[in-house]
Amino acid sequence: MPDITINCPDGTFGAYLARPKSGKGPGILVIQEIFGVNKDMRDHCDRLAADGYFALCPDIFWRQEPGIQITDQSEEEWAKAFELYKGFDVAKGVADLKVALAHLRTVDGCTGKAGTVGFCLGGLLAYIMATDSDADCNVAYYGVGIDERLDDAGRITAPTLLHIAEEDGFVPKEAQAKIKAALKGHSHVTIHSYPGVDHAFARNKGVNYNKKAADQAEARTAACFAANLR
């Protein structure tokens, strides 16, 4: 699976592209956590490609330091990840994601339909893509900061899933309750809540990985993509 380069108005950035064996299929934009386009994100892309999708994971930290690939296994890596997170420009990052989404749709063999899936910071960005882009569907895993952007939910017109970890150390229960109350009854939003699990329960080999919750969320995500991208 290749690393590719994507042009945007103020530069170029890298991305990992996984292709389905058939050479044809819909696209999914995979939005990274604060650890960069690392093995976990590439593995997510590879699994989606095995399911018949073109999966593209762009480097959204390229303006700060291109090519970041770290883990959650050491204090030094956490410090680096939070440094990048604090320096991240959300507006510019979303602009990059829109460029990446448009690029994905033009990849040879892509049907033109494309959704998004994001984790952690990427979960917030997937929610923003739901409010501010033309993605065909969107999935956010334990997005941090969604509770601060609920006024934008009226702009969501494509199917959107939110996976919430009930014991999320970065999304307090008050924020979770606010999200659920604000989006209750929204015709395009479905919320799944996972009891007893912490933030990043679907991060493969991560410190909070929970197989039962991760498998359940993955099945729901797969159903969303199958229903809206096939």
3-class SS at 33? Answer: coil
Name the nearest CA neighbour of 162 among 81, 54, 171: 171
Residue 199 appears among annotated catalytic residues: yes
In angstroms, what CA-CA distances link 26 with 4, 105, 111, 133, 209? Answer: 18, 8, 5, 17, 28
Tokens of 153: 């939910």
Asked if 104 contacts 20 with a C-beta cutoff of 8 angstroms, the reply is no
Residue 140, number of CB atoms within 10 A of its CB:
29
Polymer length of the chain = 230
Helix (H) / strand (E) containing 112: strand 110-119
- Catalytic residue check, 186: no
CA distance 230 to 226: 5
Is the distance from CB of 121 to CB of 35 less than 8 angstroms? no
Q: Which of 44, 103, 163, 199 is catalytic?
A: 199
User: Strand pairing of 54-58 and 11-18?
Assistant: antiparallel
Catalytic one among 59, 96, 147, 168?
168
Known catalytic residues are 168, 199
